[in-house]
Amino acid sequence: MKQKALPRIVPWVLPCVILAAWQATSQFGLIPLRILPAPTQVLEAAVRLIQSGEIFRHIAVSSARAFAGLAVGGVIGFLLGLLNGLSQISDRLLNSTFQMVRNIPHLALIPLCILWFGIDEGSKIFLVAFGVFFPIYLNTYHGIRNVEPGLIEMGRVYGLSGFSLFRDILFPAALPSILVGVRYALGIMWLTLIVAETVSASSGIGYMTMTAREFLQTDVIVLGILIYAALGKLADFSTALLERRWLAWHPAFQGPA
Amino acid sequence: MTSQAVAPREAQVFNDTLGAEIRLSEVGKSFGTRQVLNGLNLIVKPGEFLAIVGRSGCGKSTLLRLIAGLDRPDSGEITIGQMQAKERSEQVRVMFQDARLLPWQSVLRNVGIGAKGDWKAQALSALEDVGLATRANDWPSVLSGGQKQRVALARALMSRPQLLLLDEPLGALDALTRFEMQKLIERVWMRQRFTAILVTHDVTEAVTLADRVVLLEGSNAALIHPVPQARPRELGDPELGHLEASILHRLLQAKS
């Protein structure tokens, strides 16, 4: 028992030491509160905001923006990736344009976005959608392009064509690549949202931290950062679960969970 | 050397066959400036097992792909029974050198690919025929190379095709597995009596399995050799050995 428990504890040793050191230095006044609050103070802020219900409102607003942007950009990216992966004509027509636009850092569009959409939901959803479009588009495109030709030929011999060929061969073959795109997109989704909400917002976690900055509430700022981290981790973890479920056939996803 | 030589025993096997007759007339195919096949005429009798041998690049795989309808001939005509080769049908199945199983589907679903209606029982019985019924729910990735080809064989035979095309299906297997697969193919062929066309560079395999061996050379059939031995054929049959030697000899003469 003891031998099994030990390796499980090992990865947690360093984080615990860091946390303890942080707590100690703050407690003894080595780090001023306005630079960094103690972990216990962050915890207190969390309890306070949970009790007032404020935190849930901000998380709900931020998540809604994030997933609305993901849905818009992801669906468009997926459909165009499919289209260009399957059709030579649209590939010739669109792909090089997309590759050019891809080089625009989407966060550079923030000033334009504010001019176009104001500081409403529109600008944030647009930015997130723009950011997640490319990883999903590119990975869907490459997934479809790299389906083994032998499998397609085999499918044709066995009478598959059109939708049945897509459903039984093209889509499942491209799925591992598409899910990689989704994981990238989720990272970009939160990152974009953090920046967009910090620059201009009247609600959401970014707004919460920016308001806290004005009142020097470093505990709330650190809490906001931790919430972003947790949301990002949660989204990544969900995709990992989907991969395990949908790619159970793949040797890379077999073995102990 | 005659193309129509039929041993008495063969005629008997071809009775009540389910196989289709294949007719190739004046078939030509070229890639760029290279003429791979030119004016090829060949008739494969219903239920016959025909092997096509030749050096690499002689056009034997091209010929098989034309019959399978995967490519179109530049000239000439290919008919399978009453049908043109370019029409796709569940009467024609192909086994490739690689098994080409879908890794994201179970073995059973791979066998039932493209099948409609209540296919599960059929697929399972096809798997039984190749001795893999117990692996029906496994992923293909856990099977060995020989097992994968057996699944591919079950998949090909599930729809009871009239014509089975084999494109060096055993080329990637080790010697022992290959021998077992040859026995298995002979067994299911004798039971289901489809027409079979095997493309191979392995002359031993050709004379072990085929009723006739066609030697493809210089974009045409240079030699058609009947193999009258009784079935199931024994390993190390001296008659087969002689035949193999003479075909190999002829093959080595070519272009040397």
Q: How many domains does chain A have?
A: 1
Taken in order A206, A211, A213, A217, is the CA torsion positive or negative?
Answer: negative
DSSP β-ladder status, B163-167 and B92-95: parallel
Give CA–CA dist A87/B47, Å, rounded. 41
The torsion angles phi and psi of B181, rounded to 5 degrees, stand at -65, -40
Residues B58-96 have pLDDT tens digits of 888 899 999 998 889 999 999 998 877 767 677 899 999
| B113 and chain A in contact, CB less than 8 A | yes
What per-residue confidence (pLDDT) applies to A3? 58
Higher pLDDT, A100 or B6: A100
What per-residue confidence (pLDDT) applies to B10? 43
Measured in whole angstroms, the distance separating CA B87 from the mean position of its chain's CA atoms is 19
Residues B169-216 have pLDDT tens digits of 998 889 899 989 999 999 999 988 899 999 998 999 999 999 999 998
Closest by Cα among B80, B215, B87, B95 to B165: B95
Min Cα–Cα distance to chain A from B184, Å: 22
Q: Residue B21 in contact with residue B47, Cβ under 8 Å?
A: no
Q: Residue B127 in contact with residue B159, Cβ under 8 Å?
A: no
User: A76 lies in a domain?
Assistant: yes
**Contact assignment for B103 to A250 by CB distance below 8 Å:** yes
Amino acid type, B89: S
**In this model, does residue A71 exceed pLDDT 90?**
yes
A147 to chain B: nearest residue by CA? B102
DSSP β-ladder status, B22-31 and B75-80: antiparallel
Burial string for A53-89 (b: 16+ CB within 10 Å, else e) reads eebeebbebbbebbbebbebbbebbbebbbbbbeeee
Place of tokens 């009239």: B162
User: A105 lies in a domain?
Assistant: yes
Range of the domain at A113: 57-250
**Contacts of B249 by beta carbon, 8 Å cutoff, 6+ apart:** none
Place of tokens 């064989």: B153
Can you tell me the mean pLDDT for A153-179?
A: 92
User: A217 lies in a domain?
Assistant: yes
What CATH number is given to the structural domain containing A94? Answer: 1.10.3720.10
**In this model, does residue A207 exceed pLDDT 50?**
yes
| B87 and chain A in contact, CB less than 8 A | no
User: A173 lies in a domain?
Assistant: yes
In a 13 Å sphere around the CA of A21, the CA atoms on its Cβ side amount to: 6
Min Cα–Cα distance to chain A from B101, Å: 8
Confidence of residue A46 (pLDDT cuts 50, 70, 90): very high
**Contact assignment for B104 to A172 by CB distance below 8 Å:** yes
Please count the residue pairs, one from chain A and one from chain B, whose beta carbons lie less than 8 angstroms apart.
51
Q: Residue B209 in contact with residue B182, Cβ under 8 Å?
A: yes
What per-residue confidence (pLDDT) applies to B6? 41
**In this model, does residue A157 exceed pLDDT 70?**
yes
User: A239 lies in a domain?
Assistant: yes
User: A87 lies in a domain?
Assistant: yes
User: A156 lies in a domain?
Assistant: yes
Chain B interface test: which of A154, A160, A169, A246 (most B C-beta within 10 Å): A154
Dihedral through CA B149, CA B154, CA B155, CA B158, nearest 10?
A: 160
Q: A199 vs A87, A189, A194, A220, CA distance in Å?
A: 40, 16, 9, 17
Can you tell me the mean pLDDT for A78-99?
A: 92
User: A144 lies in a domain?
Assistant: yes
Give CA–CA dist B205/B224, Å, rounded. 16
Measured in whole angstroms, the distance separating CA A34 from the mean position of its chain's CA atoms is 30
The answer, as to whether pTM is greater than 0.80, is: yes
Can you tell me the mean pLDDT for A83-92?
A: 92
Burial string for A152-163 (b: 16+ CB within 10 Å, else e) reads ebbbbbbbbeee
Residues B236-253 have pLDDT tens digits of 788 888 989 999 988 888
In chain A, the N- to C-terminal Cα span, in Å, equals 21
Measured CA angle at B121 (ends B117, B126), to 5 deg? 110
A175 to chain B: nearest residue by CA? B104
**Contact assignment for A155 to B113 by CB distance below 8 Å:** yes
The torsion angles phi and psi of A9, rounded to 5 degrees, stand at -75, -35
Burial string for B150-187 (b: 16+ CB within 10 Å, else e) reads bbbbbbbbbbebbbbbbbbbbeebeeebbbebbebbbe
Residues B110-145 have pLDDT tens digits of 999 988 888 999 999 999 989 999 999 999 999 999
What per-residue confidence (pLDDT) applies to B13? 45
Closest by Cα among B240, B171, B177, B229 to B200: B171
What rounded mean pLDDT belongs to chain A?
A: 90
What stretches of A28-161 show up as alpha helix (H) in DSSP? 39-52, 54-86, 88-102, 110-117, 121-145, 149-157
Min Cα–Cα distance to chain B from A84, Å: 24
What per-residue confidence (pLDDT) applies to B123? 92
**In this model, does residue A55 exceed pLDDT 70?**
yes
